[in-house]
Structure 1
């Protein structure tokens, strides 16, 4: 089950889910693909960033708190297990706000 946190925004509570970085890759379009997953590996957020922004000190944090609606299910059981193991490793090694 994903770790949840709450914060108040304009008198309305927004629930977030903590996700941890599990994968980083590079595309032939000079983009960096980042994947963050829930601790159970069942849901993930994939996004792309320009490689140039990474070189200017725009680091990648170990964890993010995001809206659960932004997460997609991970369909492949092998990938779910890999993401789960990678979250465990990341949690042990880094603080949530630490740059990886």
Structure 2
């Protein structure tokens, strides 16, 4: 996981972004939180099908994703909860 944000335009939407180690491709996952007791695990990594990956065109964003992916890899196993 390289980014976790909360949607500005919709209430209770969490946006998770996972990226490939080189930062060149990403997988976006959106979660609607339905209550304060709505608990769903978020892992450090996910397996995503290649056809579900987007391309990161911005070089600065690609570098940021690669840096964060490396940091997460060093700190967590893929199945660790974050």
For normalisation by structure 1, the TM-score amounts to 0.74
Kindly report structure 1 stretches of 4+ aligned residues shifted beyond 3 Å: 52-55
Question: How many angstroms does 1:46 deviate by?
Answer: 1.1
Secondary structure, in 3 states, of the residue corresponding to 1:52? Answer: coil
| 8 Å contact from structure 2 (residues 27, 48) kept in 1 | no
1:39 is matched with 21
Deviation at residue 34 of structure 1 after TM alignment = 0.6
- Superposition RMSD on alpha carbons, in Å? 1.5
Residue in structure 2 matched with residue 26 of structure 1 by the alignment? 6
Structure 1 residues without counterparts, runs of 5 or longer: 1-20
Deviation at 1:80, TM superposition (A): 0.2
Measure how far apart 1:63 and its partner are: 0.5
Q: Whose radius of gyration is greater, 1 or 2?
A: 1
CA shift, 1:54, in A, is 7.9
